[in-house]
Structure 1
Amino acid sequence: MAKSKKHLGRYVDPRTDFGWKFYFGREDNKILLIEFLNSLFQGDKIISDLRYKPVEQDGDYEEMRRVVFDLHCIGRDGEVFIIEMQQLFQEFFKDRAVYYTSRLINKQLARGKKGSDYYLPEVYFIGILEFDMDRNGSSGISRVTERPYFYDVALCDKLTKEIFYDKLGYKMISLPLFNKQPEELKTVMDQWLYLLKHLSTMDRLPSFLDKRIFGLIFEIGEIGKLTEEELMSYEASLKHKRDAESVINSAMKSGEALGHAKGLAEGKAKGVAEGERKKALETAKAFKEMGLPIADIAKGTGLSVEEVEKL
């Protein structure tokens, strides 16, 4: 077994690509994903079992782009879950979430079904975000809610607020907006979000986290228990995460500066748009030079695969 390195901490960081799939993407550990999802549904739905499905979805025709999910699962009752961990800000992330669910909904209507048979399973998109999803919102107004970090979205009647269709849902967590302290953790979801943010800096299971739920994470997550191959993959994933944070911070500064200058000369809206695009191109170019997969770069920056390939 590989020995732990001090600069890596004691536990695998779940906010790395390796860590996210290490904890939540393995059949042996699927109870962790089940518990996490149940905490987000807060009793509205009880998930008792999951089956992992292929994460790659090819288009139905040549012009339709291929999509790659982080995790794709089917519940015992046939409900579909897409779970994504998104590190980089993406201007059209909401569009992407709707597109992903639309792709899976389309797949459900298999050829041969009778014309009037439109029964569909439940489809849910779960997004864990390392950014404030509405930081560039057109309204410029922060969400007024006790839980600004949690988006619980469904199709509803705008006048009555009643649920119109209960088989399509989006649950998003903006981790930077979750700032609760240990004494403020009132729900299991609170405990999960605290763990996601702070596990990489912990050295033991704290008393304020439920051992029955989180004990397995602290048992399997020790870096010292990783194989040499796993450790190498984790170190590479952690480096990509840290490099991404550095690159995106620099790109944001240059993008904001360009957006401001363009806004003065050509109008704020156009300037910000150009600044955002320049930021995305700079970030994609840096990631490409780092050797990240083209598909992952496109996914993280919102650019098309073709645009990334041309850089």
Structure 2
Amino acid sequence: MRFINPKTDFAFKKIFGSEQSHDILISFLNAMLYDGNDTITAIEILNPYLAPRIRGIKDTYLDVKATINNTTNVIIEMQVLNVEGFEKRILYNAAKTYSNQLEVGEDYTDLEPVIALTITDFPMFPELNQLISRFILKEKTYLTDYPIYDIELVFIELPNFRKQLEELETLTDKWLYFLKTAKKLEIVPPVMGSVPAIQKAFEIANQANLTREELDDLEHHEIFIYDQRNAIKKAVKQGLQQGLEQGLQQGLEQGLEQGLEQGELKAKLAIAKQLLAVLDDEAIIQATGLSLEQITALRNK
């Protein structure tokens, strides 16, 4: 058997966000949020589209959105590329999901908690070096919890999950192994197939059960991710090489210190030039440290 990559946008939504996925999503969320305990007993998968209530605020599409036990809203995102502004987007989506619960005239006491669960295929918080991180509102000095425990951000960093098949013990282990390695597997390992929800997830992920249109969509998603990663790598590599060559040449002519300073600037400009077709101005500024005026000048050229 060949399985689709559950980390791609299309596959993740199909496996965890379709109408046939209720038991899969319950098992997955119990594993990710509640240490494998049967805390979630009922779930409703919702439309992932978040319509804005305020004119001028943009629309948002989540990967999966659900209500668990009729009380808590969960929004789930699988993120493969580490793009600029990603951290703010997570907070924005959580706040938007929280505020969108109320209609005109409804009381604030009607608001239900929101959990934003984000799985990343890259290190999100390298300084923490842990698999699962949870963030809530706390008082800055004494770190006491805010009285209303209504918004929680949960991050799972797949690169920090390093267990092999023979080391899988918990339900959390098995689901993370599924996310990370399903595409490379040719059979369903018995230790994972013994969990009915994971067995069903493998069945949905089986390429033999997909239509030609679905396989085409999946291929387009994977090509896009591959192209974006390579575009960034190429831009950085070419920018560094071009900048260093020019900097060294000027260093020989004008002195080492001045040459290194100019070389660093040219390296940044070269990197920015390569990223013009890939990222917006704000993202390029964050990546290179250049000013908006310098980026605008490059675009005008």
Would the alpha carbon gap of residues 187 and 253 (structure 1) be closer, same or farther in structure 2, given more than 3 Å must change?
A: farther
Aligned pair partner of 2:28 in 28, 31, 36: 36
Q: Which runs of 5+ in 1 are unaligned?
A: 1-8, 136-141, 286-300, 302-309
Q: State the match for 2:131 in structure 1.
A: 149
Aligned pair 1:66/2:59, yes or no?
yes
Percent identity, aligned pairs only?
27
Matches within 5 A, 1:28-107: 28-43=20-35, 46-107=39-100
Aligned pair partner of 2:217 in 219, 223, 233: 233
Q: State the match for 1:126 in structure 2.
A: 117
Deviates more, 1:124-133 or 1:176-185: 176-185
* Cα shift at 1:271: 9.9
Distance in 1 between residues matched to 2:53 and 2:268, nearest whole Å = 32
* Cα shift at 1:176: 2.0
Distance in 2 between residues matched to 1:259 and 1:73, nearest whole Å = 49
Q: State the match for 1:221 in structure 2.
A: 205
Distance in 2 between residues matched to 1:91 and 1:194, nearest whole Å = 27
Report the TM-score, using the length of structure 1 for normalisation: 0.72
Distance in 2 between residues matched to 1:108 and 1:48, nearest whole Å = 22
Q: State the match for 1:204 in structure 2.
A: 187
Answer whether contact 1:88 1:248 (CA < 8 A) is retained: no
Aligned pair 1:283/2:278, yes or no?
yes
Q: State the match for 1:305 in structure 2.
A: none
Distance in 2 between residues matched to 1:170 and 1:277, nearest whole Å = 32
Would the alpha carbon gap of residues 250 and 190 (structure 1) be closer, same or farther in structure 2, given more than 3 Å must change?
A: farther
* Cα shift at 1:249: 2.8
Distance in 1 between residues matched to 2:228 and 2:188, nearest whole Å = 29
* Cα shift at 1:111: 1.3
Compute the RMSD of aligned alpha carbons.
3.5
Would the alpha carbon gap of residues 124 and 255 (structure 1) be closer, same or farther in structure 2, given more than 3 Å must change?
A: farther
* Cα shift at 1:199: 0.4
Greater Rg over alpha carbons, structure: 2
Would the alpha carbon gap of residues 159 and 211 (structure 1) be closer, same or farther in structure 2, given more than 3 Å must change?
A: farther
Distance in 2 between residues matched to 1:143 and 1:192, nearest whole Å = 22
Report the TM-score, using the length of structure 2 for normalisation: 0.74
* Cα shift at 1:151: 1.4
Distance in 2 between residues matched to 1:56 and 1:274, nearest whole Å = 38
Aligned pair 1:250/2:234, yes or no?
yes
Distance in 2 between residues matched to 1:191 and 1:246, nearest whole Å = 30
* Cα shift at 1:159: 5.5
Q: Secondary structure at the match of 2:159?
A: helix
